[in-house]
Structures are given as structure tokens and as C-alpha cells.
Structure 1
């Protein structure tokens, strides 16, 4: 088994891809209000909300365990409606040498699809692939969709 891996998941988003992208880009600190069982806090550590190089600290629950991650916004692409976060500190560093999470939104007719991509490098072969984190991203996307559909 290799130490490097990539996991992807794609979900249909009826609430609109712009809503999803704008939430993560400009107001991620609102996500705990939308999905409190998944993300409990998003704090700006340095920089400005929604800019490349800004550092966020996330408090979240994955697989029933409270965790913390400090991530830097590595890239933003308005055309692809994508954001990439790179892990720089946190609980995942105990298992992973490197970790990036990104999403992009594609529109096909009236349907918006959100594709999550997790890229990682495990510390050793005994570490399991982060499948629970992929499930975490899917749940988060569905929570955001539900919240925005109720608001409309």
C-alpha cells in the first residue's frame, strides 16, 4: 500500500453552487451555525476571510471525536468555484504527513455538483485512509444544502 492517496466524492447540491462556494470563501465562520454537530467553530487566525494565505482554525467532530485543524487557504478559483485548504497543524498531523481538502462546483444544466477532493500522505502504512473525513465532507455538504433550502 502506498502512503499517498486521493479520495473524491461528488454530491448534487440543490441549494446552488454559488451559495456553497461563497459560504466557504467569505463566511466560513457561519458554518457552525449551519452544521453544529459537524463543525463547532471556525476562527480566523491570520489574514482576512476569503483570501489566499489566510489561516483558519477549525474545531470539528469526526468519527465521534472532537478535533482541531489549522489550515491555510492555498488557492481560490472563482471560475471553477473552488477553494483548497492545506493542513498546517492539528490532530490529523498525528496520522498524516500532508493533507489538503478542496472542493469545486460544476453546473450541468440546472444541477450543481460539488466535488470534494482529499489529498493526503500517511505517516506510515499502519494508518488507515481517511474515509471518515470523506463522509464528514458529504455530511457537511448535505447540512449546508438543507439549511439553505429551508431559508428559501
Structure 2
């Protein structure tokens, strides 16, 4: 069993992919109203929402545990609809040396496809793969989708 890993999940959404990308890239501070059981807050620590190099602090729940992560926006590509967050402080770094989250929205076909990728390096062999984060990503995606569906 290796220390370096990658987990990926994909799901189609019925809502506008551009709107979804805007939420995860430029308006993450709105996510707590769309998916409060997963995200309780997203506060700007440094920089500007929607800009690479910005630092945000997330308060979120995974597996019934309230956690905190400070993340730097490493990549924000509007054309490719990709945003990459690198965890630089917080609860995840108690188990992982590296934890990088990438969200990509493919709007080129008939469906809008959201792909979440988690690249990580465990501190040691006893650390489990972070599969519960895949569940959280799918839940967040469905909640944002539901929020933006016509009522």
C-alpha cells in the first residue's frame, strides 16, 4: 500500500455548468447556504475570492466531525473551468503531508460533468484513504445543483 494516492469522482449535473464553476471558484463563501450539512463557512483569509493565490479557511463536516482547512487557490482556469485548492493548514494535515483538491466542470457536451480529484500523500501507512471526501464532494455537488434548479 502506497503513501501517495489519488481519488476521483464524477457526476452529471442538470444545472448550468458555468454557474456551478462560478460557485466553487469565485463564490465559495456562498456554499454554506447551499450545503450547510457539509460546509458551515468559507472565509477569505488573504487575497480575493475568484483569484489564484487567495487563501480561504473552510469549516466543514466529514463523517460527523467538524473540521477546519486553510487552502490556497493554486489554479483558477476560467476557460477550462478548473479550480485547484492546496491545503496548507488544518485537520487534514494531521494525517496527510499533501492534500490537493481539484474541481473541473466539463460543459462541452450535452451534459455538464463535474469531476472532483483528491491528490494526497499520507503521513504513514496507518492513514486510511480519504474516501469519505468523495462522498462529501458528491453531496456538495448535488446540493449546489438542487439549489440552482428552477423551483
**TM-score under structure 2 normalisation?**
0.97
How many residue pairs match? The answer is: 151
Corresponding residue of 2:112 = 112
1:127 maps to 2:134? no
| Aligned equivalents of 1:107, 1:47: Cα separation in 2 | 28
Displacement over 3 Å in runs of 4+: none
**TM-score under structure 1 normalisation?**
0.96
Give RMSD over aligned pairs.
Answer: 0.9
For structure 2, list consecutive stretches of 5 or more residues without a partner in the other structure.
none
User: Bigger shift: 118-127 or 15-24?
Assistant: 15-24
- The secondary structure found in structure 1 opposite 2:149 is helix
Q: Is the 8 A contact 2:18 2:107 kept in 1?
A: no
Q: CA deviation at 1:110?
A: 2.0
Where does 1:1-152 land on structure 2 (aligned, <5 Å)? 1-150=1-150
